[in-house]
Structure 1
Amino acid sequence: MSELKKVVELEDAVIKFVGDSGDGMQLSGTLFADTAAQDGNDLTTFPDYPAEVRAPQNTIAGVSGFQVHFGSKKILTFGDICDTIVALNPASLRANLKWAKKDTIIITDSEAYNVPALEKSGYKSNPLSDGSLKNYNVVSAPFTTLIKECVKDMNIDNKTTLKSRNMFALGVAFKIYGKNLEHTFKYLEKKFSKRPEVVELNKKVVKAGFDFAATNPQIKCTYKINKANMANGSYRNITGNIATAWGLLAASEKSERPLYLGSYPITPATEILIELAKNKSLGAKVVQCEDEIAGICSSIGASYAGSMACTTTSGPGLSLKTEALGLAVIMELPLVVVDVQRGGPSTGLPTKSEQSDLFQVLFGRNGECPLIVIAAESSSDCFYSAYETAKLSMEHMTPAVLLTDGSLGNGSELFKIPDTKDLPKITPPMAKANDTTFKPYKRDDKTLARLWAIPGTEGLRHRIGGLEKENITGNVSMDPINHEIMVNLRAEKVQRVANYIAPQEVFGKSEGDLLVVGWGGTKGVIRDSVIEMQNEGKKVSHAHFKHIMPLPKNTTEIFGKFKKIVVCELNSGQFVAYLRMTLPQFKFEQANKVQSLPFMISELKEKYNKILNKK
């Protein structure tokens, strides 16, 4: 058999683990990704959860998946098409065949293809035997029978045995891609340290899958993916939500302001709350509040008291926080709001991702109510974006919103752990005790930020609240001229933030036929699509916006050097409408997708070519 198992070297590969919700495919995918990271591969992951808590078994609606794109090169996306699909039942196979190509490896449990399961998933015949999968490399095996055989000497009940099918499939995948079992074994020993029989069961099952792949003639070859060429340092596989939490912790340390988080659990942002709650030893004060309004209001109180205050949410929760967010704007207090976007409106698609909260963040408050808006570009960038959002909020004394999304928050990629000494300084404008010149709304000449006066500090007593204040003194004022002055000052303060952010960069040449514009979490797929266009000789460049409000100062200069501009976003055109309003001298084309699914490289390239060919 050894001659059948030739080793083929690949630059990258995409594998997707799919099955019923509850089959453990998220765990299998995570363990595979962590192992790839341990091996030095660069990677990006995409967890895909059903919108229902527990959909009926063996139905398309209940399919849960975890996709891993790993390689020896820089990985920017989780991949359009899968090289391998691990499908534990007919429904998961049927739902994901559209992501397969010719010769895609399909690893599946033949015993799951019984008549009821086939009917529920919409199959009229068994695809394993009707010839419909002839263009794929199908590796089917009776998982349950093989598992029972390998653990027959253990006193394990049938239910527990069935739960380990995902580990058998993981073992097969490990062998196919030349991965070792050490990391998974360590995970099992730690996770089930008080249940040694479960550790032994899962170790045996993973090894059984590994050995099955080593000897089974259905598997023609195995693959090797070398280490990626990365800068020296410590790396880990990190999700966007955990990276966001770490970025907030780092900002708290650098600013010397204690971190306070007041939040209410909501999909897909809850993991930020959980991660910060684990790190109270680092000074984080975390309160799980009774609702969204209590979360933001307690954070405003903490900010008034001198803390680096944050609150986390998703679209529906942000709607509830809106009035209090306006309060923070008129009080001119720093506040970080993290919005992990999901499909909407209302409850919408809680486990799916969109970029559809932009209008709400920019304009969704009463009155003239501007604030800073930053959009994270990748899972690892959530760390740096959270840090910068907190920095700008504190240094400019105004609320700031960080936009991420479900794909970034739950997805993961390789993250080089930074030395906090290398992070930029954060210097909040703190008022000093007994400052005889102190006035609550006396402003810095450059930033227009007022001083951060902590209650209880001698000589800094002042009024605060939701009523309009008189400029300089902070007295309550209903004077119309003063109101206009304050409105203009708050707006100008946010616009002056543009003096403290990096200029907008362009990937590719600084002028050309087409500039592809994106923002937030679509960076990776847009970048890969532009690279492919450039490799085909097209004069296409890419500008990806992290800073939304205010826009970078060189935005107009960049746009003016391209014949055509297309704005790509996962909504019906919110950022392009904002650009048209802000920069009406330019004509913008649109590429939109509102399916709560990410862009595909192929569909973006098709759009670019249509625009380039249009007279």
Structure 2
Amino acid sequence: MAEKMEVKELDQVVVRFSGDSGDGMQLAGNIFSTVSATVGNGISTFPDYPADIRAPQGSLTGVSGFQVHIGAGRVYTPGDKCDVLVAMNAAALKTQYKYAKPQATIIIDTDSFGPKDLEKANFKTEDYLGEMGIDSDRVVQCPLTKMVKDCLADSGMDNKAILKCRNMFALGIVCWLFNRDLNLVANFLREKFAKKPQLAENNIKVVQAGYDYGHNTHASVPATYRIESTTKEKGRYMDITGNKATAYGLIAAAEKAGLKLFLGSYPITPATDILHELSKHKSCGVITVQCEDEISGCASAVGASFAGALAATSTSGPGVCLKSEAINLAVIDELPLVIVDVQRGGPSTGLPTKSEQTDLLQALYGRNGESPMPVIAATSPTDCFDAAYQAAKIALEHLTPVMLLTDAFIANGSAAWKLPNIADLDAINPHYVKPEQKGCYTPYERDPESLVRYWAIPGQEGYTHILGGLEKDGKTGAISTEPENHNEMCHLRAEKVARIPVPDVEVYGDKNDADLLLVGFGSTFGHLYSAMEELQKEGKKVALAQFKYINPLPKNTAEVLTKYKKVVVAEQNLGQFAAFLRSKVDNFAPYQFNEVKGQPFVVTELVASFKEILEK
């Protein structure tokens, strides 16, 4: 029997699973993060997919990674570098070791480090650890493939199916290392493979074997670790991705407004999961249509909106380009529509599986003519729910299309999310026609305060009307080419959007006396907040303003941006948000931090850059 291991308490830890695209690293990482969320840990995940559809096995370009950061309290980022790296083959070790801390524990499958594997990974010698400068005392060298084959020798599974279970053995070792309850893993697998119960049991057996291997050998690992939860707020929690949270936010908004939800969409990475998720919820009144192209996906949603549904369309940057004509139809018709843009690396096909914030100016201005539209940017995977809900609320109450920006980082990443009570969500009151308008209704009659037109649903007796892509007379609704009318309608559409009430931007940190204000938008919140905390630990006076509402900007924007000695705008593009803010705030001349790497920010790099600005 193995000696009793010491159990050490940790506040947080980062684990990175890596291997071939077919090695199930995303599943292993998802299970570990779900189990961690179940016991109350804070989590943040980052799936790092290869851009190749299916690269050759063992190749450097085909490595898939999944990083999860778990903590006793709230966790804001997936972590800069990992404490534990699982490398299922030589290519994974070669490409992923740069994401490991110097003292990290590395778990490898020695059966996947043969001469051919090393050659594919461009190793020059068989001493791959020495070649990379890795201390072998930090490496758990496990003949993982052989042990999985032995474990499932009597299962009746063929060799190919057995090899697909290797990820569960690696998960078992990690669960042992972090003292995780295998019953939670078993519950997850039995639910996932409910239609194949024997497959579930085989995977559970392999997880147990991996756990036992760690327990009985614990070579080069001095202790197991426990991360206790400090979460105090009671409630039901789940590990949720940004795309799923977006889908749930749209469902909740339709429920609250008493409407059907319609999604017209065309599959595109990394937005497709929204379509997949919504297609599962017909019982909630959700209608999904997978269209033949992007413009028809959006055009079908415009038609559903005209017919009285809460309409949405989901896509990524290239799809927004293609949808722009149909989006503009919703602008001129003043119909409610939510456009979800899950941003990815560009331009063109670019980096389909990577993340950027490069669609901001396209969201604001990427349509012909004067085409004003509200823009909201979600700040985290869990905030995607609230952002989608608020986008739908604005669309329905102000009769306008709304662009919701997420990106691949938060769309595929996940966090622990407390399920809300729908009764506690903001009311949604679509701006419908009034009874006294019956018989004399014209489609562009407006509320004098908000300038929102009144929404009549086709088929309502006494509210017959026509909408279309040609400019209409603001009083009669008839087609008009009159110069003064067009000028007035352009101003009205712009002013209607400008009058939409949005919350003030919140300032975190040393809000009253900061020497440096960090400014960001959308998904960079966690990294910028963490950078602020690190700088504060060093005695620096730093604050953070993270923008969620981009158009219209919060009313306190100019006050916040001009209050501090120095301001730096940090974004994952070449300066789009900084340029937009300069156009809106007089005499605003910020420093800028811009990266377009297809990867999330690295907190240590942010801290170093912000220190330089403080010292100038």
Q: Are the aligned partners of 1:174 and 1:180 in contact in 2 as well (CA < 8 Å)?
A: yes
- Report the Cα offset of residue 237 of structure 1: 0.5
1:397-455 deviation line (CA, Å, top 9, x unaligned):
11100000011111100001110111111111111456245332111122100000111
The CA distance in 2 between the partners of 1:470 and 1:197, in whole Å, is 67
1:377-397 deviation line (CA, Å, top 9, x unaligned):
000000000000010111111
Q: Are the aligned partners of 1:244 and 1:383 in contact in 2 as well (CA < 8 Å)?
A: yes
Letter in 2 for 1:68: V
- Report the Cα offset of residue 194 of structure 1: 4.5
Structure 1 segment 113-262 matched on structure 2, within 5 A:
113-127=113-127, 130=130, 132-134=133-135, 137-216=138-217, 217-262=219-264
Q: Are the aligned partners of 2:502 and 2:552 in contact in 1 as well (CA < 8 Å)?
A: no
Structure 1 segment 520-531 matched on structure 2, within 5 A:
520-531=522-533
SS at match of 1:453: coil
Q: Are the aligned partners of 2:441 and 2:464 in contact in 1 as well (CA < 8 Å)?
A: no
The CA distance in 2 between the partners of 1:208 and 1:14, in whole Å, is 23
1:521-547 deviation line (CA, Å, top 9, x unaligned):
110011000011112111110000000
- Report the Cα offset of residue 375 of structure 1: 0.2
- Which of 300, 303, 323 in structure 2 is aligned with 1:321? 323
Corresponding position of 2:32: 32
1:14-34 deviation line (CA, Å, top 9, x unaligned):
001000010011110011111
Q: Are the aligned partners of 1:339 and 1:404 in contact in 2 as well (CA < 8 Å)?
A: yes
1:308-356 deviation line (CA, Å, top 9, x unaligned):
1110000111100001111111111111000000001111111111101
The CA distance in 1 between the partners of 2:109 and 2:148, in whole Å, is 11
SS at match of 1:488: helix
Change (3 A) 1:255 1:77: same
The CA distance in 1 between the partners of 2:611 and 2:197, in whole Å, is 58
- Report the Cα offset of residue 2 of structure 1: 5.3
Greater Cα shift, 132-141 or 188-197: 188-197
- Which of 475, 480, 486 in structure 2 is aligned with 1:483? 486
Corresponding position of 1:345: 347
- Which of 466, 470, 474 in structure 2 is aligned with 1:467? 470
1:89-109 deviation line (CA, Å, top 9, x unaligned):
011111111111222010000
The CA distance in 1 between the partners of 2:192 and 2:403, in whole Å, is 36
Q: Are the aligned partners of 2:129 and 2:136 in contact in 1 as well (CA < 8 Å)?
A: no
Is residue 2:361 matched to residue 1:359?
Answer: yes
The CA distance in 1 between the partners of 2:419 and 2:155, in whole Å, is 42
The CA distance in 2 between the partners of 1:165 and 1:135, in whole Å, is 22
Q: Are the aligned partners of 1:213 and 1:219 in contact in 2 as well (CA < 8 Å)?
A: no
Q: Are the aligned partners of 2:399 and 2:453 in contact in 1 as well (CA < 8 Å)?
A: yes
Letter in 2 for 1:250: A
1:529-584 deviation line (CA, Å, top 9, x unaligned):
00111121111100000000110000011112101111111111111111111114
The CA distance in 1 between the partners of 2:194 and 2:377, in whole Å, is 40
- Report the Cα offset of residue 128 of structure 1: 5.2
- Report the Cα offset of residue 58 of structure 1: 1.3
The CA distance in 2 between the partners of 1:255 and 1:25, in whole Å, is 40
- Report the Cα offset of residue 86 of structure 1: 0.6
- Report the Cα offset of residue 133 of structure 1: 1.1
Runs of 5+ unmatched residues, structure 1: none
Letter in 2 for 1:299: A
- Report the Cα offset of residue 135 of structure 1: 7.4
Q: Are the aligned partners of 1:468 and 1:476 in contact in 2 as well (CA < 8 Å)?
A: yes
Corresponding position of 2:444: 441
The CA distance in 1 between the partners of 2:11 and 2:144, in whole Å, is 30
Q: Are the aligned partners of 2:89 and 2:113 in contact in 1 as well (CA < 8 Å)?
A: yes
Letter in 2 for 1:495: A
The CA distance in 1 between the partners of 2:273 and 2:256, in whole Å, is 23
Greater Cα shift, 133-142 or 277-286: 133-142
Letter in 2 for 1:15: V
Letter in 1 for 2:466: R
Letter in 1 for 2:21: S
- Report the Cα offset of residue 3 of structure 1: 5.0
SS at match of 2:58: coil
Change (3 A) 1:530 1:464: same
Q: Are the aligned partners of 2:440 and 2:462 in contact in 1 as well (CA < 8 Å)?
A: no
The CA distance in 2 between the partners of 1:142 and 1:477, in whole Å, is 76
The CA distance in 1 between the partners of 2:87 and 2:355, in whole Å, is 23
Greater Cα shift, 431-440 or 364-373: 431-440
The CA distance in 2 between the partners of 1:129 and 1:393, in whole Å, is 56
- Report the Cα offset of residue 229 of structure 1: 1.7
The CA distance in 2 between the partners of 1:490 and 1:81, in whole Å, is 47
- Report the Cα offset of residue 459 of structure 1: 1.2
Structure 1 segment 269-284 matched on structure 2, within 5 A:
269-284=271-286
Corresponding position of 2:372: 370
SS at match of 2:380: coil
Letter in 2 for 1:75: V
- Report the Cα offset of residue 163 of structure 1: 1.7
Q: Are the aligned partners of 1:58 and 1:121 in contact in 2 as well (CA < 8 Å)?
A: yes
Corresponding position of 1:452: 455
The CA distance in 2 between the partners of 1:414 and 1:129, in whole Å, is 36
SS at match of 2:68: strand
Letter in 2 for 1:463: I
- Report the Cα offset of residue 307 of structure 1: 0.8
Corresponding position of 1:109: 109
SS at match of 1:139: strand
Say what the alpha-carbon RMSD is for the aligned residues.
Answer: 1.5
SS at match of 2:508: coil
The CA distance in 2 between the partners of 1:287 and 1:241, in whole Å, is 17
Q: Are the aligned partners of 1:102 and 1:135 in contact in 2 as well (CA < 8 Å)?
A: no
Change (3 A) 1:324 1:193: closer
Change (3 A) 1:283 1:200: closer
SS at match of 2:507: coil
The CA distance in 2 between the partners of 1:155 and 1:464, in whole Å, is 64
Corresponding position of 1:94: 94
Corresponding position of 1:333: 335
Q: Are the aligned partners of 1:4 and 1:220 in contact in 2 as well (CA < 8 Å)?
A: no
Aligned length: 612
State TM-score, norm by structure 1. 0.97
Is residue 2:415 matched to residue 1:400?
Answer: no
- Report the Cα offset of residue 607 of structure 1: 1.1
SS at match of 2:499: helix
The CA distance in 2 between the partners of 1:152 and 1:232, in whole Å, is 44
Change (3 A) 1:129 1:438: closer
The CA distance in 1 between the partners of 2:75 and 2:30, in whole Å, is 17
The CA distance in 2 between the partners of 1:142 and 1:2, in whole Å, is 19
Letter in 1 for 2:157: I
User: 4+ runs of 1 displaced by more than 6 Å?
Assistant: none
- Report the Cα offset of residue 205 of structure 1: 1.3
SS at match of 1:541: strand
Corresponding position of 2:297: 295
- Report the Cα offset of residue 37 of structure 1: 1.1
1:57-93 deviation line (CA, Å, top 9, x unaligned):
1122100011110011110100011000011001111
- Report the Cα offset of residue 156 of structure 1: 3.2
Q: Are the aligned partners of 1:248 and 1:387 in contact in 2 as well (CA < 8 Å)?
A: yes
Change (3 A) 1:193 1:281: closer
SS at match of 1:47: strand
